[in-house]
Chain A
């Protein structure tokens, strides 16, 4: 068994792992009850699944040029995925798209109350 066969096998296993992570996220999307927990499931393959697939491409091609052109994909995805998750989570919190019985700690609630009180003290204008 030479090195090429081992690297090909590793690439295939990476592919299978990435695809399985994607399917697991799909199941979570299907079965979880509210938007925040669905977001928890759906954001797993955005980083880890993509990493597995990019690692599979790099292991398959086996050249440094490939790694260089795959780096922008990683950088852009890790830059943009947290921002979109933050925006969606913020909107889900504002519209109360989560279940109270599954929420143990709400650290944002007191901050929202405080901000509301300060806004009231400043008056309706603003």
Chain B
């Protein structure tokens, strides 16, 4: 086995593993965003596979396919990210939905000291206008 064919086998194995991992994340991904990220990566892997095939068979026939895939991969991400709803929040250990926006942490309490809320005014709901 020559060095060239060894490198081609290496590339093919790596790409196969990458697409299998992405496929696993698409099937198992807990939220729709994970599935979207994984399918984006699967598409990138497909473009790379098309490029590897062009080098292997020494032709340039599928460059238009690469151009189309590179330019239209964005539409899926944007349309899904646009319609991610508040029900898609990940659940915590007790099965409750986590609050929207950032959670109150030690150095970022829910209502900061620099921004005192008015009395009787409930804390603002996180993640309103973004």
Interface residue ranges, A against B (CB under 8 Å) = 8-9, 11-13, 15-16, 18-20, 22-23, 25-27, 29-30, 34-35, 38-39, 42, 45-46, 49-50, 53-54, 56-57, 60-61, 66, 69-70, 72-73, 76-77, 80-81, 83-85, 87-88, 90-97, 100, 103, 106, 108-110, 112-117, 119-120
Contacts and interface: CB of A to CB of B under 8 A. Distances in A.
Interface in B71-126: 71, 73-74, 77-78, 80-82, 84, 86, 88-90, 98-103, 105, 108, 112, 115, 121, 124-126
Interface string B6-41: 011011101101111110110000010110111011
Given A27-B21, A84-B74, A56 B51 contact: yes
Which residue, of A9, A81, A113, has the highest number of chain B Cβ atoms within 10 A? A113
19 contacts: A16-B7, A19-B14, A22-B45, A22-B48, A23-B15, A26-B20, A45-B45, A53-B48, A61-B60, A76-B67, A84-B40, A87-B77, A91-B33, A96-B90, A96-B98, A96-B126, A100-B102, A103-B102, A119-B129
